[in-house]
Amino acid sequence: MRLPYGFTQSSTGEVDIDKQHADVVKLIYNRYLSGDSLGVIGELLFQQRISSPSEKPRWTRAAIDKLLSNSKYRAQIISFEQFIAVQFEKDKRTNLDYDRAGHSRKSNRYHSKNVLSGLLVCAECGANYRRITPSNGAVIWRCGNRVEHGKAICREALTIKEEDIIAYIRDTLKLEAFDPQAVKEAIESIAITKCGDYIIEGSKSQLAYSSCL
């Protein structure tokens, strides 16, 4: 079983804290609590040339979100109080929905499907997808650039139905029911291509390929 980022295993099999990576964990938690978004934190890490847990130059939003949710850091790398504060902040930020004009609004209830926030990425422009609830109640996801700028920045991004992407994830991960925790552990990002393919980037390897990239 792979150790979480920030930990290392000695030659004797003992699990120790990797100080260099632990400092990165602390940085991420501190910046998140100071108000930085996952995207801003990811850009900061890229500018500082800090590789992701999968040794890639850029951190995905999903990788940062997963790190912020990992209870193994509690009391070992960060304080219990700081971990709890981050969980409250995550709940507050996640419990936002978007109307058809792209304006944020507070949801009436927490949506477990919001685990998809930060996972869905437009393969055409790189923007994250946003969850939108039209008046008919059929939840959809749209490229953030298309929501904010129309076709000025991204001309070919597709709108997808939440039920379709959830069904695809369930089939790919062989889940009997949609499990947010299992999704977080298995998936770092899902790129949505202009021809409707989903490219799932897993924690260890690419799980699906697109024929139109």
Amino acid at site 125: C
What are 194-203's pLDDT values in tens digits? 888 888 877 5
pTM across the whole model: 0.51
Domain boundary among 93, 122, 137: 93
Q: Kindly report the CA angle at 128 between 1 and 131, in degrees rounded to 5?
A: 100
DSSP helix/strand/coil, 26: helix
Domain boundary among 48, 63, 93: 93
| Segments forming the whole domain that contains residue 195 | 96-202
Q: Residue 141: beta bridge partners?
A: 131, 160
What is the structure's pLDDT at 212?
52
What are 142-182's pLDDT values in tens digits? 988 888 888 888 888 999 999 999 999 999 889 888 888 88
β-pairing, 15-17 with 120-122?
Answer: unpaired
C-alpha distance across the termini of the chain, in Å: 33
212 lies in some domain: no
Same domain, 135 and 105: yes
CATH of the domain at 62: 3.90.1750.20
Please name the residues in contact with 8: beta carbons below 8 A apart, sequence gap of 6 or more. Answer: 15, 16, 17, 18, 21
138 lies in some domain: yes
What is the structure's pLDDT at 203?
52
What is the block-wise mean pLDDT of the chain (213 residues), using blocks of 10 residues?
Answer: 85 89 96 89 94 90 87 89 85 55 44 70 84 82 86 87 91 87 83 87 52 47
